[in-house]
Amino acid sequence: MTRMSIITDVNRCVGCLACSVACKAVNNVPIGNFWNKVVRVGPNPIEGGSGQYPDVYMYFVTVGCQHCENPECVKVCPTEASHIAEDGTIQIDKAKCIGCQFCVMACPYGVRYLNEEERVVEKCTLCEQKLQQGELPQCVSQCGGNARWIGDLDQGLDSFVGSYDPLGEQRKMVDFLEDFSEEDIYHLPDVGNKPSFAYILRRHKWEGGDN
């Protein structure tokens, strides 16, 4: 089985919004909608500090479709337009979508929307068109901080890769990132949907939901 996912190193993310902008451009996302939002957490006081600069910290969490293992959106879709693809991602068959928005209401993360012009629901596809050609999702390839990595959860962390270095070699997450432990890996809140995306955060308090 395959379960494609993105892991984001929150300590490396600088909140530049390149992933959001690149995503909108390559996927023609309508004005006012996003497939990938960047949420700022903080500034928060450092424990034992004054609570004033420089004793504060801040980080950014990217929020999009989590391509869940047990997706609520798929359960409520009356036409099976929302479905789990062979690579484990959650996709929408626009030919079957009737725009009822049951999936929009069921999504725990509020990352689906109705395309008013086409009258179908849209969300992050993990750049399915690129994955099928062996390319990286746009948000991964355009991440200047090398914070976003894509791989197959069933193949383990060794499978996660990112953009290419100046010599044309593809970076491997386990070789490139600062050391992290299992305790540094977090997910957005799980309401039984089992989100597949993960976030690495070291030395700071995770405020994105479930630990």
104, pLDDT greater than 60: yes
Residue 211 has pLDDT above 60, yes or no: no
What is the pTM (predicted TM-score) of this model? 0.91
pLDDT tens for 155-179 read: 999 999 999 988 989 999 999 999 9
| Mean per-residue pLDDT over the chain, rounded | 93
Name which of 129, 142, 178 is nearest 38 in CA terms: 142
- Judge if the upstream peptide bond of residue 43 is cis by omega within 30 degrees of 0: yes
State pLDDT tens for residues 129-138.
999 899 999 9
89 touches 126 (CB < 8 A): yes
Using CB atoms within 10 Å of the CB of residue 177, give its burial: 0 to 12 exposed, 13 to 18 middle, 19+ buried: buried
Kindly indicate the confidence band of residue 79, based on its pLDDT and cuts at 50, 70 and 90.
Answer: very high
Structural tokens at position 85: 């693809």
3-state class of 140 per DSSP? helix
How many Å apart are CA 211 and CA 209, to the nearest integer?
Answer: 7
- CATH class for domain 4-200? alpha beta
